[in-house]
Structure 1
Amino acid sequence: MAAFGIAREQVLAHQWVDNGPGWAVIQLATAEEVLRLEPDLSIIPTAMVGTIGAHPEGSRHHFEMRTFAPGAGVPEDPACGSMNAGVGQWLTATGGAPSSYRVSQGTRLGRAASIEITADPDGTVWVSGAATVCIRGTVTL
């Protein structure tokens, strides 16, 4: 909370999600609150943290997400599959989100991503969305 500059009262919920990389996630009430964050990553130099907040009903996206992994050299990730998958497991299992929903991420970076989350009845969570190929190549080992 100190790194995000927010008060305890702003936190609706928090959860550790882990499907390989582990993330500490804070849920705020609104997408606007998430987008207003100006994190001080020097307070959490090795953390892998994120925030999620709801867009207003009727919006194209259900949630806005931001992920920060300064310890991995990623101040802010514009589209984080591992955190979206972990949060998808958490929110769909607890009723915090429908079994299929859309997340906006990367907005503050000017790289808006639209990510689809779908949870199967067995709890499997699928993360999908369109991608732009920026580079192609091969590696011979």
Structure 2
Amino acid sequence: MNLTPRSRPFHQVDVFASQPYRGNPLAVVLEAQGLDAAAMQRFANWTNLSETTFLLPPEDSRADYKVRIFTGSEEFPFAGHPTLGSAHAWLDAGGVPKAEGYVVQECAAGLVRVKRDGGRLAFAAPPMTRFGPVEAPVRRHLAEALRVPATDVLDAAWLVNGPEWIGVLLGSAEQVLALKPDFAGMGDLKIGVIGPHAPGAGSDFEVRTFLPGDAVTEDPVTGSFNAGAARWLMGSGRAPEQYLATQGTVLGRAGRIHVSAEDGEIWVGGDSTTCISGAVLL
């Protein structure tokens, strides 16, 4: 049962870009106590952003706060840009981490550490809940939905760490940028596509992620997919232990995802900027 609507602190944060309004926006409701899932889902649908988060007191004593993450139509156990944007908003609002050097976020996927990486934040990629080769019929479906020859798909894998991503590897960044997918043909598949840039391009990989059936059909910048892709590509020797990926190019964005492997963990980082701060009545 929701409480009587009241004013709650609200931030809108631009994530994964050094320039404001060039990354992926996130709505963050702080002090979300008393809101039930239905109220959260309604508000997330109304914001019309890829994700909206709601910050709550932690239930786990090791965590600094608890977050619930909603798209316009469903709740995710984990997502990347909401993790960085929520940590940024919590710190902006005066949050002081319990642990030295880390913010610890509690979400449905468990505890996620967020650290300062120079002037930006980076999260430790959560474990995969499904990781492995894509079945042959699904791989054919992917090629058809992306409108590319099956031979252009160099590899495909399940990369599930919250959203049920399937990763598709193409031979070049140019192929990724040229995609004109058949969104209706995707069904309920969530597809992330990655391809390498040529040396000297200023970025190592180009990424695009497609979310048919939701409020958006292409996500500007996607932390969860990039976390899964890093584990996949590094594990197969296709990516170095530190690299830069770009995303959102075809949408006029300038997403920059900084990825590194340290002591067996994958860290995914990016810049965040608070673009709107105020209050919402919920």
TM (norm. structure 2) is 0.47
Q: Does the 8 A contact of 1:47 with 1:71 survive in 2?
A: no
Which residue, 144, 169, 186 being the options, matches 1:44? 186
Q: How many residues align?
A: 140
Q: Does the 8 A contact of 1:48 with 1:71 survive in 2?
A: no
Q: Secondary structure at the match of 1:72?
A: coil
Relative contact order, higher structure (CA 8 A, sep 6+): 2
Per the alignment, residue 131 of structure 1 pairs with 272
After superposition, give the CA deviation of every residue in 1:16-57 in whole Å (9 maximum; x if it has no partner): 101111211110000000000001101114221011001001
Q: Secondary structure at the match of 2:206?
A: strand
1:72 aligns with 2:214: yes
In the aligned structure 2, how far is the partner of 1:28 from the partner of 1:7? Answer: 11
Task: Please state how far the C-alpha of 1:94 moved relative to its aligned partner.
Answer: 1.6
What residue identity is the alignment partner of 1:62?
A: D
> Gaps (5+ residues) in structure 2?
1-142
1:34 aligns with 2:140: no
What residue identity is the alignment partner of 2:239?
A: A
Q: Secondary structure at the match of 2:207?
A: strand
After superposition, give the CA deviation of every residue in 1:94-136 in whole Å (9 maximum; x if it has no partner): 21100110001000000121110111232x2111112332322
Written as runs of structure 1 = structure 2, the 5 A alignment for 1:1-141 is 1-122=143-264, 124-138=265-279
Q: Does the 8 A contact of 1:46 with 1:72 survive in 2?
A: no
> Gaps (5+ residues) in structure 1?
none
Runs of 4+ in structure 1 off by over 3 angstroms are: 137-141
Q: Aligned pair in 2 of structure 1 residues 138, 41: CA closer, same or farther (>3 Å)?
A: same
What residue identity is the alignment partner of 2:272?
A: A
In the aligned structure 1, how far is the partner of 2:279 from the partner of 2:269? Answer: 24
Q: Does the 8 A contact of 1:30 with 1:54 survive in 2?
A: yes
